[in-house]
Structure 1
Amino acid sequence: MLVTGDTIAFVGLSDPRHEREWIQLETLKNFFASYGVNVFISPLLYEMECSRPAWAKELMRLFEHPDVKAIFDVSGGNLANGILPYLDFERIRQAEKPFFGYSDLTSVLNAIYTMTGKPSYLFQLRTLCWSQAKQQQARLVASLFEQRHDLFDVQWEWLSGQRMQGVVVGGNVRCFLKLAGTPYFPDLTERLLFLESYGGKENLIRSYFYQLAGMGAFQKVSGLMLGTFTELEKEGGRIEDIVHEVVPADLPVVKTRQIGHGEDSRALVIGETLQLERGDSHA
């Protein structure tokens, strides 16, 4: 995906970044420089107030810039879905450029797949600066520079069913549901729905699952994939209990602790066809 001499770009389509996080951007820039990759940090990342149209214009410019080979969003929060009406998805489709983001960027990742049919990557690049930095750096280098699968190698635990196959959609459940009722919400028919969450105690997470059930999501998808539910688990809750209550018993369900808001979180490709079978725990 990347070779020496390439240029990548950092953007922040969700909430503004705090000054204390700016040093992480320089750390990441230096990390990529050690592999001969140039990093363009969008100046908008250093602005505390930036309009949705301005960020959309910047993103489109980077998608179409011939020197930029990949775009990494390093933000999170609440505002990412606000840029969607200002994006030109046909131009994004033609660019065929990898886009990475997580959490609130779930809305953008799924919109890109829905509107273009192209995949994008659920991953937070700043994990390369956190407590599991060395391991995350090694996984990223193996996958982006050496064409290996380390960053995408995920162990799944089966909760029900024997097999699932389909195109992966979803991400952070709160941010995924922002797309409900919009043209950016993906068709769930025969899809694999991945869900995770950072915030949310048991009843809030249960309400998200109730909403998905009311939308007929669990009747349409061919499988449910669960990541970590950080606050729920911290409070002693179990996502399995909510699944048992809300999700049809005959729907295949798998779970992993390797994708979510953990500091060692792997990557998941939104818009990629995935096949899982019981007994083969890795994807």
Structure 2
Amino acid sequence: MGTTPGFDIYQRWRRPLEIGAWLLLFALNAIFNSVVSRIDHAGRVAAWEPWVWEWSSTLILLALLPAVIAVERRWPIRLDSWRRNLPLHVLASLPFSLLHVGGMVALRKLVYAVSGGHYRFGPWWPNFGYEYLKDIRAYFVIVGTLVLYRLWLLRQQGEARLLAEPDEGAPVEPVERPERFLVRKLGKEFLLNASEIEWLQASGNYVNLHVRGRDYPLRATMAGIEERLDPARFVRVHRSHFVNLDYLAEIEPLESGDARLQMRDGAKIPCSRRYRAALRERFGQAD
């Protein structure tokens, strides 16, 4: 299926690289804004004050970043969903701004108090209106960055699709329970055997098909894909996970009543207690 060595390396370090990229982006923005603010207020405030203003804002934005990422995953901005989800993001920008402004004002008051001074935000609502105009821009810059990043990931790792029924003639294989999936990657198309899928994991409006260390997103719901998986091979083990029994190596019971599944490639998959008994029976283990 053609792999990209550079992207495979990136995938192994993806999480720390993503975190590092966000930290670098926010730090550079804070430094730039601090220098500009220092120039604008030269001679009118202490040299350290503009740095406190900008870094207090940046730290709160960083703290809110995971929430924005979660909201964008829940209501993604895509060609088929942006009209429906855009108003939800506009609404989400309001609590985002309230938390940002409240948090940065609290930090500034703390720093000023430690330095023996007093920070005044001024009249709340007029000043909040001004801050909200900046915050809604920041919110959608973050969302836009997430959208562009997702498009890049899909192009690099490939996006899976169900085989469609032909316009003429009978399908070459069952459409209701496909034996293969179509994967589009870097402008090319490949066929992926369903038997090669080691496990599936829900991710927003997608289900990731995990194959040999790679994830291929399929635009589907867990309920929808469950009907199209071979029940002799695939078993649901969690509200967001299915596993292929051919790749399951071990079931590790937990004190909570849940279990941890060890896959043949070393990956660990959660198993809820409601699915554990049925899985052990299918896997050939007795309680």
**Fold match (TM-score > 0.5):** no
Q: Which has the higher contact order (CA 8 A, sep 6+)?
A: 1
Larger Rg: 2
TM-score (ref. length: structure 1): 0.24
Q: Structure 1 or 2: larger helix share?
A: 2
